[in-house]
């Protein structure tokens, strides 16, 4: 799936985030998205909130596009509406990061659902992600791409019994990045603050 293109997608998105970070779901004054797939809507939502995000795409293409218009809600309301329209996705909402990932059999089969018994890693974002992938046997099959600004941000992992997806979310939250995971590729970009 490609990123939204202005020539083929109509998007009107207005977000006003009020309140402090880390205090529960962030308020959204207006969310108006037209003819978009769920992953792009979540990326746009989090971009408008200046919030780190992890979006995992399934191995198949995401063809379902829909419209969504909400007013006077919070980010949980928007996420609930998105996954109600496209039940092939589920989400996890944390104060520091939002995670969208496949549901059902595709989630179970995802290499990012693999549980990591223990990891200790510290360094730049890309180096830590590559260490995680190498330890889980995923480095050979997964390319990591990052803009220069985000690739060297320092991160630290020290966790037990967490999925690869959760560990990637921990990294993204620490470095204030957006992460798109798809079969064979992880793409990172800086989330403007």
Residue 101's nearest CA partner among 161, 21, 172 is 172
Same structural domain, 31 and 100:
yes
Q: Residue 169 has what pLDDT?
A: 98
- For 162-176, the pLDDT digits (tens) are 999 999 999 999 999
The answer to whether the beta carbons of residues 191 and 176 sit under 8 Å apart is yes
> Could you count the other beta carbons within 10 Å of the beta carbon of residue 26?
26
Please indicate, yes or no, if residue 10 is contained in any of the structural domains: no
- For 29-75, the pLDDT digits (tens) are 999 999 999 999 999 999 999 999 999 999 888 899 999 999 999 99
The structural domain count of the chain equals 2
CATH of the domain at 73: 3.55.50.30
Q: What percent of the chain has pLDDT over 90?
A: 80
CA angle 181, 186, 188 (to 5 degrees): 105
pLDDT of 111 over the 60 cut: yes
Distance CA 28, CA 43 (A): 14
pLDDT of 159 over the 50 cut: yes
Please indicate, yes or no, if residue 22 is contained in any of the structural domains: no
Sign of the torsion formed by the C-alpha atoms of 142, 146, 151 and 156: negative
Please indicate, yes or no, if residue 166 is contained in any of the structural domains: yes
For the chain, how many residues are written?
193
Residue 36's nearest CA partner among 14, 12, 60, 53 is 12
Residue 94's nearest CA partner among 150, 40, 174 is 174
Please indicate, yes or no, if residue 19 is contained in any of the structural domains: no
| pTM across the whole model | 0.86
Same structural domain, 120 and 184:
yes
Same structural domain, 99 and 136:
no
Same structural domain, 124 and 99:
no
Q: Residue 13 has what pLDDT?
A: 34
Residue 22 — very low, low, confident or very high, per pLDDT cuts 50/70/90? low
Domain residue limits at 168: 110-190
pLDDT of 118 over the 60 cut: yes
Q: Are strands 27-36 and 66-74 parallel, antiparallel or unpaired?
A: antiparallel
SS3 category, 10:
coil
Same structural domain, 133 and 91:
no
């Amino acid at each position: 799936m490609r990123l939204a293109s202005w020539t083929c997608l109509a998007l009107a998105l207005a977000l006003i985030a009020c309140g402090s970070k880390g205090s529960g779901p962030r308020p959204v004054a207006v969310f108006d998205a037209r003819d978009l797939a769920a992953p792009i809507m979540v990326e746009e939502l989090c971009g408008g909130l200046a919030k780190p995000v992890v979006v995992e795409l399934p191995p198949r293409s995401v063809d379902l596009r829909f419209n969504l218009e909400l007013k006077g809600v919070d980010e949980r309301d928007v996420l609930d509406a998105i996954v109600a329209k496209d039940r092939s996705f589920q989400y996890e909402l944390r104060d520091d990061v939002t995670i969208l990932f496949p549901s059902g059999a595709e989630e179970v089969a995802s290499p990012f659902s693999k549980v990591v018994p223990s990891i200790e890693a510290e360094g730049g974002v890309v180096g830590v992600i590559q260490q995680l992938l190498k330890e889980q046997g995923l480095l050979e099959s997964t390319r990591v791409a990052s803009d220069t600004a985000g690739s060297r941000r320092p991160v630290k992992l020290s966790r037990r019994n967490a999925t690869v997806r959760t560990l990637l979310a921990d990294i993204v939250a620490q470095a204030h990045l957006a992460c798109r995971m798809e079969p064979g590729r992880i793409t990172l970009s800086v989330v403007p603050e």
